[in-house]
């Protein structure tokens, strides 16, 4: 019984070391485990895949830098899918801290990868304060809300934006978010203007968004790193999300192991104490 008693008081640095190893080992030596595709990811893929070449999509990067490990792979995969299909992308952000810079970096990197031209194939509108007014205002006239893009260029001098006065010219909105912005996109934009949309969100947010899927307000959902990994597999660009899933797999197993071990130890110690035995 001393073993279980010792296990109950295990130094947390041991737990931290095991977690650290579970992240590092599969990062260095990937396991290449296949990920099962969920219906929500398949629906997201189908929604983008069914758009005709040249169609205009909006990609809000409503993310903070803290969740980039989860959200960047899904934004990258969505952009690759869009550019592969020759869709034209309007990026923006409703998160002041980092959102526009993240959008700029990812749009440029994937745009260059596919030989796309800024202003014609994609733009970055940047950030504007007061997201509720921004979301509703773009339904009337985008140029009223964003007179210039992220770089200070007037919208009327960007060929792509001359064709997009408001949501009526946008075929689909792919929201990448780590906060409550999806709720606002659904309740303000989908409800009032009827623009179809799908979302890529962090794993902890995904259960809430499933209710929008069932209500038909979202046409697809990427839930956390698993959703991003599934999407990467669907578009044929296996990248960071699939590598991340190896680490996530080990960590999940480790946490389950901790839960089982903690419970067994707890009940063994309690039963022995209850009998008045020595532990």
Partner 1 sequence: MVLAFFVRGPIVDRVSDEALRGQTIVGGIALLLGVFSISQVHWRRIASGHADRGYSAILLVCLVAMAGFGTVQGVEAGGVFDWLFERLQAPMMATMFSMLAFFIASAAYRAFRARTITSAILLLTAVIVMLGRIPMGQYVYDGLPAWTNWIMTVPSVAVQRGIIIGAALGAASISLRVLLGIERSYLGRG
Residue ranges that bind partner 1, judged by CB under 8 A? 10, 12, 15-16, 18-20, 23, 33-36, 38-39, 64-69, 96-98, 100-101, 104-105, 108, 128-130, 132-134, 136-137, 140-141, 144-145, 150-152, 191-192, 203, 206-208, 210-211, 214, 224, 226, 245, 248-249, 251-256, 258-259, 261-263, 266
CB-nearer residue toward partner 1: 22 or 87: 22
Nearest distance from C-beta of residue 253 to partner 1, angstroms: 6
Nearest distance from C-beta of residue 171 to partner 1, angstroms: 20
Decide if 74 contacts 200 (C-beta within 8 A).
Answer: yes
CB-nearer residue toward partner 1: 87 or 149: 149
CB-nearer residue toward partner 1: 120 or 259: 259
Which tokens go with 47? 């929604």
Nearest distance from C-beta of residue 80 to partner 1, angstroms: 20
CB-nearer residue toward partner 1: 27 or 54: 27
Long-range contacts of 109-115 (CB under 8 A, 24+ apart): 109/76, 110/76, 110/79, 110/80, 110/83, 111/79, 111/83, 113/80, 113/83, 114/80, 114/83, 114/84
Nearest distance from C-beta of residue 174 to partner 1, angstroms: 21
Nearest distance from C-beta of residue 34 to partner 1, angstroms: 6
Decide if 101 contacts 72 (C-beta within 8 A).
Answer: no
DSSP for 53-101, please give it: TT-EEEEEEE--GGGHHHHHHHHHHHHHHHHHTT-EEEEEES-TTTHHH
Q: Which residues contact 53 (CB under 8 A, 6 or more apart)?
A: 85, 86, 87
CB-nearer residue toward partner 1: 65 or 196: 65
């Amino acid at each position: 019984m001393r073993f279980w008693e010792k296990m109950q008081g295990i130094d947390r640095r041991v737990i931290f070391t095991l977690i650290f190893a579970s992240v590092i080992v599969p990062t260095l030596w990937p396991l290449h485990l296949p990920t099962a595709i969920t219906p929500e990811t398949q629906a997201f893929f189908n929604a983008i895949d069914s758009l005709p070449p040249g169609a205009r999509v909006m990609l809000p990067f409503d993310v903070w830098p803290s969740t980039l490990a989860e959200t960047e792979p899904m934004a990258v995969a969505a952009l690759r899918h869009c550019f592969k299909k020759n869709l034209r992308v309007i990026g923006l952000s409703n998160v002041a801290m980092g959102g526009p810079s993240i959008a700029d970096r990812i749009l440029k990197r994937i745009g260059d990868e596919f030989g796309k031209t800024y202003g014609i194939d994609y733009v970055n509108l940047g950030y504007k304060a007061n997201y509720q007014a921004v979301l509703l205002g773009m339904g009337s006239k985008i140029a009223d809300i964003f007179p210039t893009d992220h770089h200070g260029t007037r919208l009327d001098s960007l060929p792509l934006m001359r064709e997009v006065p408001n949501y009526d010219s946008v075929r689909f909105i792919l929201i990448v978010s780590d906060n409550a912005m999806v709720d606002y996109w659904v309740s303000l934009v989908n409800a009032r203007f009827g623009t179809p949309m799908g979302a890529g969100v962090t794993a902890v947010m995904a259960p809430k968004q499933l209710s929008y899927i069932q209500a038909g307000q979202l046409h697809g959902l990427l839930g956390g790193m698993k959703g991003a990994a599934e999407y990467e597999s669907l578009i044929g660009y296996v990248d960071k999300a699939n590598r991340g899933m190896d680490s996530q797999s080990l960590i999940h197993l480790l946490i389950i192991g901790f839960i089982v071990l903690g419970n067994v130890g707890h009940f063994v110690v309690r039963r022995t104490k209850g009998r008045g035995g020595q532990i």
